[in-house]
C-alpha cells in the first residue's frame, strides 16, 4: 500500500516536472540567451546555459535606437502603466460600490452594459476609437492610453462587485444608521475591506498595461514617447537589428517587472482568480 | 409616507449615478460612440484625409467578393477550432492534477501560470520567432539530440505557421486552469465518497460527477476563449506577420491592415461590424445552448 502510494507520488512529481520544464523552458532559454556571446546565440541555441557568460548584450541593448536608450522607454512604460493602473483600480472600485450596494433606477441596465464591455473585444472598436482620438487630437500623446482607464475597466468592476457582495450588508447599514454618509461608508468601511481585491486588480492592471503593445503601436509616433514593448518590437525588427544577444537581453529586461510582481504577489493573483472564478 | 419613500429613491438614484457616473461617461464616449460611428463609416468611403463619402452597401458588397477576407475568416476559424479545445483539455487535465492544495501544488500552479501572465508580451513573441525559425532553438535542439537537420522554418512554412500560434495559445492555459480549479473545489467531496462506496471507478466518477458539475466552468471558459481566439491579433502581427501566403492573417489583422495600412477606414469598419455580429451570434448561440448541456446546481437538485 505504502509502496503504491509512493509510486503514485513519484509519478505525480514526474508529470509535474515534465510539464513545468515544457512550460518554463522558452522563458529560461530567453533568460540565458541574453548572457550568451551575441554571435553565438543562435549557433548554440540547443544549449540552455551559455558556454561563455557575458553582460555585453545588456550594455549594447540598453543603448536603444534613434538616440534614445531603453532607460527612456522603461520610464515611459512606467508612467503609462502606473497612471492607467491608478485610474483603472480606483474608478473600478468606486463604480463597483455603486453596483454592489445601491439600488437605483437603471442600475440593472448599466450593469448589463458593463457585462457587454467585459466580453467586447478591443479589436472591434479599435478603428473607430482611433478615429475618435485622432479627431480629439490625442494621437502622439499618452492620453488614449490613460484616459479611458479612468472610466473603470469592466474586468475589475466585475471582480470588485463579486468581492463586495461577499461582505455583509449589515456593516454598511449600521454605519448609515450611525449617521455616516454614503461616501463615508465607501471610504471608511468598504475600501479598507477591499484591499485584497484592490491589490489583485492593481497587479493585473499594471502587468497588462506594461505589456500592452497595440495601444502604443496605434497612438505613439515619436521615438521619445515609445514604451518598452513598442521599442522592443522595433528593436527586434530584422531590418534594424541583427544583434540577437542584445535583443534577448532587452526582451528579458522587459518581462522582469511582470515576473517580479508575479513572484511576489502570486498568492493574490492565483487566489484572486481562483476565488472569484474569473477569466484572465 | 409615500413622499418620503420617493425622496429616498431619488437620493439613492443620485448616489448611484455619482458612483457609477464615470462608467456611464466612459461607456458612452469610448464604446457606444465608436461603435455607432463605425456603423456609419461602414457605409462610407473614408480615407481619413478627405471627409467620409456615403457609398451605400458598397463596402459590404466588396466584402462578399473579397477572397482575402474569406481566407482570413477561414484562418481564424481554424485557429479557434484547434486552439480552444486543446487549451481547455490541457487546462482541465492540469487542474485535476493540481487539485489538492499544499505547498507543492501551489508552487506548480504558480509555475504553470507564469507563461499566461507574460505570454502576450512582445518579449514572448520574439522568443517564439527564434524558437520556431529555420535555424531556431527547436531545430538546433532536434539536430543535437537526433543528429538530423530538419531544415524547416516552422514559422515560414504554410502547413505549420498557424500551429506555432496555436501552440502559443495553448501554452497560456493558466487562467482557464485556475477557473477549472475553482470549479473543481466547488464540487462537494461527499459526492465522490458516496460514489466510491457504491463502487464507481475513477473513470466513472469523472464522467458522472466531475464533468457534469463542471459544465458551468467549461461553459464560461469556452465563451471567453472563443472570443479571445476570434480576435487574435498581436501574436499574428508580431510572430508570423500574417505570412506565409496570408495563412496566419486573422480577421482582426486583415481589418487592421485594411484600415491603417491601406487607409480604407470605411471598409475596415464594415469588417469590424461583420466580426462583431459574428462574435455576438456565437455568444448568443452558446448562451442558448446552455440548457442542453450545462448543469447549474439547482437543476441537479431538481433531478433528484
pLDDT category at A57 given cuts 50, 70, 90 is confident
Distance of CA A151 to the CA centre of its chain: 18
Grid coordinates standing for B4? 418620503
Q: Indicate the range of A73-77, A269-273, B234-238 predicted with least confidence.
A: A269-273
CB contact under 8 A, A277 and B94: no
Domain limits, chain B = 61-303
Question: Is A105 touching B (CB cutoff 8 A)?
Answer: yes
Average pLDDT, chain A: 85
A210: containing domain: 66-276
Vertex A277 angle, CA B234 and B125, to 5°: 20
Judged by CB atoms within 8 Å, which residues 34-93 of A form the interface with B?
A: 42-46, 91
Q: How many CA atoms lie within 13 A of A79 on its CB side?
A: 15
Question: Is A95 touching B (CB cutoff 8 A)?
Answer: yes
The pLDDT value given to residue A175: 85
Q: For residue A153, is it within any domain?
A: yes
pLDDT, greater one: B79 or A48: B79
- Asked whether B181 and B110 are in contact (CB, 8 A), the reply is no
Interface with B, mutate which of A96, A104, A115 (most B CBs under 10 A): A104
Q: Phi and psi dihedrals of B172, rounded to 5?
A: -100, 60
- Domain B61-303 class? mainly alpha
Interface with B, mutate which of A33, A34, A280 (most B CBs under 10 A): A280
CB contact under 8 A, B29 and A151: yes
The whole-angstrom separation of Cα A100 and Cα A193 is 14
Instruction: Give the residue from chain A lying closest to B105, CA to CA.
Output: A16
- Asked whether B152 and B160 are in contact (CB, 8 A), the reply is yes
Distance of CA B121 to the CA centre of its chain: 16
CA distances (Å), A164 to each of A49, B150, B217, in order?
48, 56, 22
CB contact under 8 A, B131 and A29: yes
Q: For residue A48, is it within any domain?
A: no
CA of B150 to nearest chain A CA: how many angstroms apart?
14
Mean pLDDT of all residues in A15-34: 88
Q: For residue A25, is it within any domain?
A: no
Q: For residue A18, is it within any domain?
A: no
Average pLDDT, chain B: 84
Q: For residue A154, is it within any domain?
A: yes
What are the pLDDT digits (tens) for B212-236? Answer: 888 888 998 898 899 888 888 888 8
The pLDDT value given to residue B185: 84
Q: For residue A31, is it within any domain?
A: no
The pLDDT value given to residue B174: 84
In this model, does residue B299 exceed pLDDT 60? no
Question: CA Rg, chain B, in Å?
Answer: 25
Q: Phi and psi dihedrals of A73, rounded to 5?
A: -65, -40
CATH of the domain at A186: 1.10.3720.10
Grid coordinates standing for B126? 520574439
Q: For residue A86, is it within any domain?
A: yes
CB contact under 8 A, A211 and B118: yes
CB contact under 8 A, B179 and A255: no
Interface with A, mutate which of B21, B30, B149 (most A CBs under 10 A): B30
Q: For residue A238, is it within any domain?
A: yes
Amino acid at each position: 500500500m505504502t509502496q503504491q502510494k509512493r509510486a503514485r507520488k513519484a509519478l505525480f512529481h514526474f508529470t509535474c516536472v515534465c510539464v513545468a520544464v515544457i512550460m518554463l523552458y522558452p522563458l529560461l532559454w530567453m533568460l540565458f540567451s541574453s548572457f550568451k556571446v551575441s554571435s553565438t546565440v543562435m549557433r548554440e541555441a540547443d544549449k540552455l546555459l551559455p558556454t561563455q557568460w557575458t553582460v555585453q548584450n545588456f550594455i549594447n541593448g540598453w543603448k536603444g535606437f534613434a538616440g534614445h536608450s531603453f532607460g527612456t522607454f522603461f520610464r515611459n512604460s512606467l508612467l503609462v502603466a502606473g497612471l492607467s493602473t491608478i485610474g483603472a483600480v480606483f474608478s473600478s472600485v468606486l463604480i463597483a460600490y455603486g453596483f454592489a450596494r445601491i439600488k437605483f433606477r437603471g442600475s440593472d441596465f448599466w450593469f448589463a452594459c458593463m457585462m457587454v464591455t467585459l466580453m467586447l473585444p478591443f479589436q472591434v472598436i479599435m478603428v473607430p476609437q482611433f478615429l475618435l482620438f485622432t479627431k480629439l487630437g490625442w494621437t502622439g500623446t499618452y492620453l488614449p492610453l490613460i484616459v479611458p482607464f479612468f472610466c473603470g475597466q469592466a474586468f475589475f468592476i466585475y471582480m470588485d462587485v463579486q468581492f463586495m457582495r461577499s461582505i455583509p450588508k449589515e456593516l454598511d447599514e449600521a454605519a448609515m444608521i450611525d449617521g455616516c454618509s454614503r461616501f463615508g461608508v465607501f471610504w471608511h468601511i468598504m475600501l479598507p475591506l477591499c484591499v485584497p481585491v484592490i491589490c489583485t486588480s492593481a497587479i493585473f492592471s499594471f502587468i497588462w498595461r506594461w505589456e500592452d503593445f497595440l495601444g502604443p503601436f496605434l497612438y505613439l509616433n515619436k521615438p521619445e514617447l515609445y514604451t518598452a514593448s513598442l521599442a522592443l518590437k522595433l528593436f527586434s525588427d530584422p531590418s534594424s537589428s541583427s544583434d540577437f544577444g542584445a535583443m534577448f537581453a532587452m526582451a528579458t529586461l522587459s518581462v522582469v517587472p511582470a515576473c517580479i510582481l508575479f513572484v511576489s504577489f502570486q498568492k493574490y493573483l492565483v487566489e484572486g482568480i481562483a476565488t472569484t472564478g474569473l477569466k484572465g | 409616507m409615500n413622499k418620503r419613500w420617493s425622496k429616498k429613491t431619488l437620493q439613492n438614484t443620485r448616489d448611484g449615478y455619482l458612483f457609477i457616473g464615470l462608467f456611464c461617461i466612459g461607456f458612452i464616449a469610448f464604446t457606444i460612440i465608436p461603435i455607432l460611428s463605425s456603423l456609419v463609416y461602414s457605409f462610407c468611403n473614408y480615407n481619413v484625409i478627405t471627409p467620409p463619402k456615403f457609398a451605400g452597401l458598397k463596402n459590404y458588397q466588396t466584402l462578399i467578393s473579397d477572397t482575402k477576407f474569406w481566407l482570413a475568416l477561414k484562418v481564424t476559424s481554424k485557429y479557434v477550432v484547434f486552439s480552444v479545445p486543446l487549451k481547455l483539455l490541457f487546462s482541465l487535465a492540469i487542474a485535476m492534477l493540481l487539485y489538492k492544495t499544499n505547498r507543492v501544488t501551489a508552487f506548480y500552479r504558480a509555475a504553470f501560470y507564469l507563461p499566461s501572465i507574460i505570454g502576450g508580451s512582445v518579449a514572448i513573441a520574439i522568443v517564439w520567432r527564434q524558437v520556431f525559425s529555420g535555424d531556431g532553438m527547436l531545430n538546433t535542439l532536434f539536430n543535437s539530440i537526433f543528429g538530423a537537420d530538419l531544415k524547416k522554418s516552422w514559422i515560414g512554412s504554410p502547413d505549420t505557421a498557424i500551429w506555432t500560434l496555436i501552440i502559443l495559445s495553448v501554452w497560456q492555459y493558466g487562467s482557464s486552469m485556475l477557473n477549472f480549479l475553482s470549479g473543481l473545489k466547488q464540487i462537494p467531496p461527499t459526492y465522490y465518497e458516496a460514489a466510491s462506496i457504491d463502487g464507481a471507478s475513477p473513470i466513472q466518477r469523472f464522467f458522472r460527477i466531475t464533468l457534469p458539475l463542471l459544465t458551468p466552468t467549461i461553459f464560461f471558459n469556452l465563451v471567453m476563449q472563443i472570443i479571445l481566439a476570434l480576435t487574435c491579433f498581436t501574436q499574428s502581427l508580431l510572430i508570423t506577420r500574417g505570412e506565409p501566403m496570408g495563412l496566419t492573417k486573422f480577421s482582426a489583422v486583415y481589418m487592421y491592415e485594411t484600415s491603417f495600412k491601406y487607409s480604407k477606414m470605411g471598409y475596415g469598419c464594415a469588417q469590424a461590424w461583420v466580426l462583431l455580429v459574428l462574435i455576438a451570434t456565437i455568444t448568443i448561440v452558446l448562451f442558448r445552448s446552455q440548457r442542453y448541456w450545462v448543469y447549474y446546481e439547482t437543476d441537479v437538485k431538481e433531478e433528484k
